[in-house]
């Protein structure tokens, strides 16, 4: 243990009894060793120990505080005492004379020591402040890197989910049974096409509010083009129609539109992936049974390019439109517009536009 006498404030002033401040070097060393042992124990394992935000700054450690308070040399005018009763004053006076003699000879040495200690304390304080600042910067940058890693891993999870969903749709389309293609005009689907075309008068007026969403599409397909009324509603947008009735296909071609004879859903599922920029499906509620809607939505997603738009016309209100919206959301379509219109019979139905987002 060391005892350090506190210096007097001014030379020649009456000095109070010296206060002794004990300094236990063994306790400081033992505390440092204990902290190192605790940090080593918490850092064992596969992962390093997490950063402790409550770690005290180096500039506030007790060792540096002690150095700042006790760096000065002893005061030459500090009080000297003796425990001897009679010879004590003589001994103290002798010590005073010896101290003055020694200090007079070693003044330059003690001044050099004082300046050295002063610069050492200043350097230690500057080093402690700089170390604390660097530690804060390292901690903040480490947290920023961890946040970027979390965002990157989250984006990777979303991409993997999209790829898995895409593969599931491919397997669903490949494994599900497909109806045989039709070619004759007296087939059931051809008769249904002619009937829905006759009952769906006014489809051009119902589609025109949505035509602007197809202006930038490089290739548009109208699934169920009827007699050409839906193609005329596109107002100059290049498009190709598909119809199951040979009579309706001939009528479309006679009006100057491109049309093909094929089964609607089979033709859509056979298209190359990402080959369409826009898709229009007419009379959804009349021409496509609700049990086949999952395949219809999946085939629409597969055939569209990223950013492509699909328009569904002729959706009955109530639970039917709710079911279609749910299927579109499950397939990761984005609902762009949903309007309630009146059909040829004055009944309410819906026209819905959805977009395929960018590939993730």
Confidence of residue 297 (pLDDT cuts 50, 70, 90): very high
Q: What are the C-alpha distances in Å from 300 to residues 103, 258, 327, 351, 356?
A: 100, 20, 12, 16, 9
Q: What are the C-alpha distances in Å from 77 to residues 3, 55, 93?
A: 17, 42, 13
pLDDT (0 to 100) of residue 215: 86
* pLDDT at position 15 over 60: no
Give the residue range(s) of CATH 3.40.50.150 domains in the chain: 179-356
pLDDT (0 to 100) of residue 114: 75
pLDDT (0 to 100) of residue 178: 56
Confidence of residue 9 (pLDDT cuts 50, 70, 90): very low
Q: Are 321 and 331 in contact (CB under 8 A)?
A: no
Query: What CATH homologous superfamily does 179-356 map to?
Result: Vaccinia Virus protein VP39 (3.40.50.150)
pLDDT (0 to 100) of residue 56: 63
| Highest mean pLDDT out of 7-11, 50-54, 295-299 | 295-299
Q: Are 300 and 285 in contact (CB under 8 A)?
A: no
pLDDT (0 to 100) of residue 177: 60
Average pLDDT, the chain: 77
pLDDT (0 to 100) of residue 334: 92
pLDDT (0 to 100) of residue 8: 40
* pLDDT at position 279 over 90: yes
Confidence of residue 159 (pLDDT cuts 50, 70, 90): confident
Answer whether 0.75 is exceeded by the pTM: no
* pLDDT at position 359 over 80: no
């Amino acid at each position: 243990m060391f005892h350090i006498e506190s210096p007097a404030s001014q030379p020649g002033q009456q000095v109070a009894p010296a206060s002794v401040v004990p300094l236990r070097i063994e306790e400081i060393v033992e505390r440092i060793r204990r902290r190192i042992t605790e940090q080593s124990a918490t850092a064992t394992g596969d992962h390093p120990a997490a950063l402790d935000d409550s770690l005290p700054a180096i500039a506030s450690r007790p060792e540096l505080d002690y150095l700042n308070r006790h760096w000065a040399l002893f005061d030459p005018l500090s009080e000297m005492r003796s425990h001897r009763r009679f010879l004590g004053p003589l001994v103290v006076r002798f010590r005073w004379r010896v101290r003055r003699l020694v200090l007079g000879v070693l003044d330059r040495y003690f001044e050099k020591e004082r300046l050295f200690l002063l610069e050492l304390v200043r350097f230690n304080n500057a080093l402690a402040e700089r170390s604390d600042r660097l530690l804060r910067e390292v901690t903040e940058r480490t947290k920023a890197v961890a946040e970027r890693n979390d965002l990157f891993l989250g984006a990777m999870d979303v991409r993997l989910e999209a790829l898995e969903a895409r593969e599931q749709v491919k397997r669903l389309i490949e494994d599900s049974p497909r109806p045989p293609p039709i070619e004759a005009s007296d087939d059931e689907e051809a008769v249904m096409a002619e009937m829905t075309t006759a009952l769906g008068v006014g489809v051009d007026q119902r589609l025109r509010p949505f035509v602007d969403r197809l202006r930038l599409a490089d290739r548009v397909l109208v699934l169920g083009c009827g007699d050409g009324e839906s193609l005329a509603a596109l107002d100059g947008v290049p498009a190709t129609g598909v119809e199951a009735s040979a009579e309706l296909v001939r009528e479309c071609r006679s009006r100057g539109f491109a049309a093909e004879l094929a089964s609607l859903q089979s033709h859509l599922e056979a298209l190359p992936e990402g080959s369409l920029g826009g898709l229009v499906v007419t009379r959804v509620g009349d021409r496509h049974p609700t049990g086949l809607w999952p395949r219809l939505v999946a085939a629409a997603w597969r055939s569209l390019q990223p950013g492509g738009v699909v328009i569904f016309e002729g959706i009955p209100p109530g639970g039917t439109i709710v079911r279609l919206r749910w299927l579109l959301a499950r397939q990761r379509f984005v609902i762009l517009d949903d309007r309630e219109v009146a059909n040829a019979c004055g009944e309410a139905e819906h026209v819905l536009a959805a977009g395929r987002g960018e590939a993730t």
